Structure 1
Amino acid sequence: MIKYSLKERVNPTDIAAPNKLYPIKQAQEELTLRDFAKRISRESTVSMMDTMAVLEGLLQIIPDEIVNGKIIKLGDFGTFRSTLSAEGVATADEFSVAKIKSLNVRFRPAREFRNLLASVKYEKVS
């Protein structure tokens, strides 16, 4: 369940327009890698230390492969891929690597995850 509250905000494109209320997601519990390892260990036959080692390995490999241009597919979880942010040019001759501003990471949830996201319940808090 996602908890939210309402907050009044100014329209940045029209400051003279009346303010509107928007939902703001409330901070909830933060889970650490150790929390994940404990849960995986409880729900499987793998020890917590072995689980931590595998998770740490995964967290080492994913960034390395992303910066090498690879697409990372993690089953029913989703896909990580990199995209470029750059200044546009009129012709190929005008382009240089200096026009590339940044390498960004995008995540796309897999179908099962998207279905779960579509079924989320919301609760207003004060």
Structure 2
Amino acid sequence: MIKYSLMERVNPIDLAAPKKFFPVKQAQEELTLRDFAKRISRESTVSTMDAMAVLEGLLQIIPDEIANGKIIKLGDFGTFRSTLSAEGADTAPEFTVSKIKSLNVRFRPAREFRNLLANVKYEQVS
């Protein structure tokens, strides 16, 4: 369940427009890698230490492969891919690698994940 409160905000594009109320997601507990490993251990035959080892390996491999331009598909979870942020050039010959500002990582949830997100419940808190 996602908990939220309401906050009145001004329209940054039209400062004269009337303020409107928008939901603000409330911070909830954080889950650590160890928390995931413990849960995997409880729900499978894998030990917490083995789950930690696999998760740590995944966390090392994904950034390496993203940096190599690969698309990472993680089954029913989703896909990680990279995109470029760059300054444009008027012509192709004028473009140089120095115009590339950053490599960004995008995540796209898989269909099953999106379906789960579509059924999330919300609760307003004060």
Q: Distance in 1 between matches of 2:45 and 2:19?
A: 54
Q: Tell me which residue corresponds to 1:119.
A: 119
2: CA distance between counterparts of 1:38 and 1:97?
44
Shift of 1:19: 1.0
After superposition, the C-alpha distances for 1:38-81 in whole angstroms (9 at most, x for unaligned) are 00001111110011001000000000100110000000000000
Percent identity of the aligned residues?
87
How far, CA to CA, are the matches of 2:53 and 2:76 in structure 1? Answer: 22
Aligned equivalents of 2:89, 2:18: Cα separation in 1: 39
| Distance in 2 separating the partners of 1:119 and 1:46 | 30
Q: How many pairs align? A: 126
TM (norm. structure 1) is: 0.98
**Map of 2:56 onto structure 1:** 56
SS of equivalent to 1:59: helix
The alpha-carbon deviation at position 8 of structure 1 amounts to 0.7
User: Once superposed, what is the RMSD of the aligned Cα atoms?
Assistant: 0.6
**What is the letter of the counterpart of residue 59 of structure 1?**
L
Deviation at 1:90, TM superposition (A): 2.0
The runs of 5 or more residues in structure 2 that have no matched partner are: none
Give runs of ≥4 in structure 1 deviating > 6 Å: none
Consecutive unaligned residues of structure 1, counting only runs of 5 or more, are none
Q: Supply the AA of the counterpart residue of 1:33.
A: L
- Structure 1: distance between partners of 2:108 and 2:114: 9
What is the DSSP-based 3-state SS (H/G/I as helix, E as strand, rest coil) of the residue aligned with 2:70?
Answer: coil
**1:4-42 Cα deviation digits (max 9, x unpaired):** 010011111111111111000000110000000000001
> Aligned partner of 2:14: which letter?
D
> What's the TM-score once normalised by structure 2's chain length?
0.98
Paired residue type of 1:120 = V
Q: Which residue of 2 aligns with 1:6?
A: 6
